Structures are given as C-alpha cells and as structure tokens.
C-alpha cells in the first residue's frame, strides 16, 4: 500500500449528540482506551457542539469539558486528545482549560463563508503549541472555488489541516470530490473530510474525498453523531483497507470497542429516519434534528415541512431559533377558523 489516510474518531464529541451529551467520564475513558488500542491517533472529546456548549440552549452534558478531556488523556497511551472550538460558543479561556486538561489538538469550526472568524483562535492555538485542524462547516453551501478561497484564509492563519465538512449530510460523492480537489489546488495544509450520513453515502463520500486529496478522515463508532450520524469508524477502516489504503488502525479492536463498549450505551440505533433524511435533502444543519422534532410535535406541523422551509431560507448553525419561527408560521397557515356557533 502506498496510499495513506489518518482516521480521526469523533465518537466522544459529535457522537455525544446521539446520547444527549450524557456520556460519563468513565464512558469516555472506556471508549478512548479502545480507540487507542486500535491505533487511532487523534480522538476528539467534548460536548457535542464543542467546548463551552453545555447549556440550556444546546443541552447540559453529564460532566464538564475538562473532566471529559482528563478522562480521555488518562486512558490513552499514544493517541492525541482533541477538542472542538466554535467561535461564538467557546472562548479562549475555555480552550485554555482544555489545554490544561491535556488536549494536544484543537479543531476550530467556522461556517464555510466565515473563515476570518477563525483567525484569532487558530493563531492563538498555534502560539500555544497545539496542532490545529479547522472545519469549514456546511461546505455544501459553497461551490468548490469559493470554498477553496475560504480554505486559503485558514491556511494563511497557520492551520495544519483544513476540513471540508458535510455538516448537513447533503453531499453525494461528486460534491465531496470536487470540493477536496479545489482545496488541494489552493492550499498547502493537509485536507480533511467530515461526513454525515443523511443521504446514506457517508462512506462513499469519504472514499471519494481521499481519492481527491484528503488525508484526514473523520468517523465515529457505530456511526454516532448528530441527526443521521457520521461515517462509521469501523466501517471506514474496513472500506479503506479494501480500497487499498493504509489507515494505520487495527480493524478488530475497533469492532470490539463499537460492539462491546459503545453499543450498550446507545439509547437507540443510529439510523437514517425521515427527519434525518430530509435534513440532508434540504441541506439543513444536523444539530437541528431534535429541536425540529420537538417543534413539529408542539405545533402540529410535519417535521419535513419545517425542514424544507428552513432549507429554502438557507439557515445555518446558530440559527436554531428559526425552527420555532418557521413551525409557528406553518401552523398559522394551516389553522382553520372554527365555524360560528349556530344561533
């Protein structure tokens, strides 16, 4: 094999969304230990939305981010522990606490049109000696060339890796490949790809991204993650090996951790249900999954109608308040005035 990719596991961050952010530090330690034994070199840990997100808006976690980081750091022998930093949710003070707890890598996530929002945290993190991976969230919303222009900004700030991120699970393989290829022409940093599985092609998208130049590929055990979940780490490892790639991980320990550690902690199977599918089809951010279901029930409006309207309005992460606005408007349109009482 002369083709190599690095699989990054995000079970303990993106996967937190599948368990309402309720993994305990002991759960984190057990899963991180299994991933480390399998040879996964970078393990992402934090609240599902990232550092500082434990709140009434995004859901309270079972423990603090530093607690989760320390649990993972103490459990591994070789892997680097990473955390997600979203400007506007996290602060540099919270990132410093994660550093003190032992992270070696930070993943700075910005909307795909707002790379400049990442300059401060990227440059600050590099000064602290961290490896910096950057996320262009909702990458499907930009065509390849303008996306590459945004990536070039992150590259200029010092990012070690720039990710094409399919936050909505809206891409098919051609979309993934074209965007990664455009980045490859525009930047010197390594390129990553983060797939969600709303259209059922997360693994195919990841393989196509690698064929076009991505060298970092994200996954999560059992496919845990927001809405339809992520590309499944153990399936990624098997598929990439079959396709002739060296992943540097051992498949069977990954499967064992997925089956015997993660699966018993899952509230329900990670599937592509109607809401998850429409999220991908409409191109809506994956974290809108549970709030949309709640709004649909409260206002008596089909979740698909809410999501399709949100997609038409081009909402992005951080605009979750629009879910209630849209549900309320749709409920008003369908409300029938009662007939007057007979006299």
pLDDT at 57: 82
Read off the pLDDT band of 336 (50, 70, 90): very low
Show the tokens assigned to 313.
């309005």
Distance, in Å, from the CA atom of 73 to the CA atom of 121, rounded to the nearest integer, reads 22
pLDDT of residue 342: 54
The pLDDT assigned to 316 comes to 77
CA-to-CA distance for 305 and 328, rounded, in angstroms? Answer: 12
pLDDT tens-digit profile of 67-87?
Answer: 999 999 999 999 999 999 999
Give the pLDDT confidence score for residue 333 in this predicted structure: 67
Model pLDDT, residue 6: 98
CA 234 → CA 143, 245, 251, distances in Å?
Answer: 30, 14, 6
Q: Where on the phi/psi map is residue 229: left (φ > 0), alpha (ψ -120 to 50), or beta?
A: left
pLDDT at 338 over 70: no
Binding site as annotated, residues for Mn(2+): 14, 194, 196
d(CA 171, CA 279): 11
Sign of torsion, CA 26 220 111 272? negative
Sorted by sequence, the CB contacts under 8 Å of residue 173 that are 6+ apart come out as 201, 204, 205, 207, 208
For 283-294, what is the mean pLDDT? Answer: 84
Confidence band, pLDDT 50/70/90 cuts, at residue 33: very high
Name the helix (H) or strand (E) containing 207.
helix 202-211
pLDDT tens for each residue of 195-234? 999 999 999 999 999 999 999 999 999 999 988 999 999 9
Write out the binding residues for substrate. Answer: 13-14, 167, 194, 285
116-173 pLDDT, tens digit per residue, is 999 999 999 999 999 999 999 999 999 999 999 999 999 999 999 999 999 999 999 9
- What integer pLDDT is reported at residue 249 of this predicted model? 98
Rounded Cα distance, 131 and 248, in Å: 19
pTM attached to this predicted model: 0.91
Q: How many CB atoms lie within 10 A of CB 96?
A: 12
Among 241, 234, 193, 236, smallest CA distance to 213 is for 193
What is the rounded CA–CA span in Å between residue 151 and residue 115? 7
User: Which residues partner with 165 through β-bridges?
Assistant: 194
Average pLDDT, the chain: 94
CA dihedral 54, 96, 12, 164 (to 10 degrees): 100
Annotated binding site: 13-14, 167, 194, 196, 285
How many C-beta neighbours within 10 Å does residue 314 have? 11
Q: CA geometry: angle at 298 spanning 294 and 303, to 5°?
A: 55
Q: If pLDDT is split at 50, 70 and 90, which confidence band does 335 have?
A: very low
Helix, strand, coil percentages, rounded to 5, for the chain: 50, 15, 35
Confidence of residue 317 (pLDDT cuts 50, 70, 90): confident
At 66 the three-state DSSP class reads helix
Nearest to 267 by CA among 1, 5, 22: 22
Q: How many residues does the chain have?
A: 343
And the tokens for 154? Answer: 């992150």
Dmax (CA) of the chain? 86
Question: Which of 5-14, 255-264, 282-291 is predicted least confidently?
Answer: 282-291
């Amino acid at each position: 094999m002369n083709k190599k990719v690095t699989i990054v596991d995000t079970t303990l961050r993106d996967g937190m969304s599948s368990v309402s952010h309720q993994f305990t530090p002991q759960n984190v330690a057990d899963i991180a230990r299994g991933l480390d034994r399998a040879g996964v070199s970078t393990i992402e840990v934090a609240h599902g939305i990232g550092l500082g997100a434990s709140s009434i808006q995004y859901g309270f976690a079972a423990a603090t981010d530093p607690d989760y980081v320390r649990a993972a750091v103490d459990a591994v022998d070789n892997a680097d522990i990473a955390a997600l930093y979203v400007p506007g949710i996290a602060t540099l003070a919270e990132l410093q606490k994660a550093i003190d707890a032992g992270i070696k890598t930070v993943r700075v996530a910005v909307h795909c049109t707002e790379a400049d929002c990442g300059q401060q945290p990227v440059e600050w993190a590099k000064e602290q000696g961290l490896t910096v991976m950057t996320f262009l969230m909702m990458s499907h919303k930009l065509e390849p060339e303008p996306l590459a222009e945004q990536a070039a900004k992150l590259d200029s700030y010092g990012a070690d890796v720039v990710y094409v991120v399919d936050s909505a699970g809206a891409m098919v393989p051609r979309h993934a490949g074209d965007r990664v290829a455009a980045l490859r022409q525009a930047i010197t940093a390594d390129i990553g790809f983060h797939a969600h599985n709303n259209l059922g092609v997360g693994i195919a998208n990841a393989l196509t991204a690698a064929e076009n130049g991505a060298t970092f590929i994200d996954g999560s055990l059992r496919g845990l993650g927001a809405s339809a979940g992520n590309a499944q780490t153990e399936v990624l490892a098997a598929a990439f090996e079959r396709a002739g790639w060296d992943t540097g991980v051992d498949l069977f320990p990954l499967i064992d951790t997925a089956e015997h550690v993660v699966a018993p902690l899952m509230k329900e199977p990670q599937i592509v249900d109607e809401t998850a599918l429409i999220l991908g089809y409409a191109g809506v951010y994956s974290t809108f999954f549970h709030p949309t279901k709640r709004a649909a029930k409260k206002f008596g409006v089909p979740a698909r109608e809410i999501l399709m309207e949100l997609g038409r309005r081009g909402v992005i992460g951080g605009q979750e308040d629009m879910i209630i606005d849209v549900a309320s408007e749709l409920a008003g349109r369908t409300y029938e005035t009662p007939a007057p009482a007979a006299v």
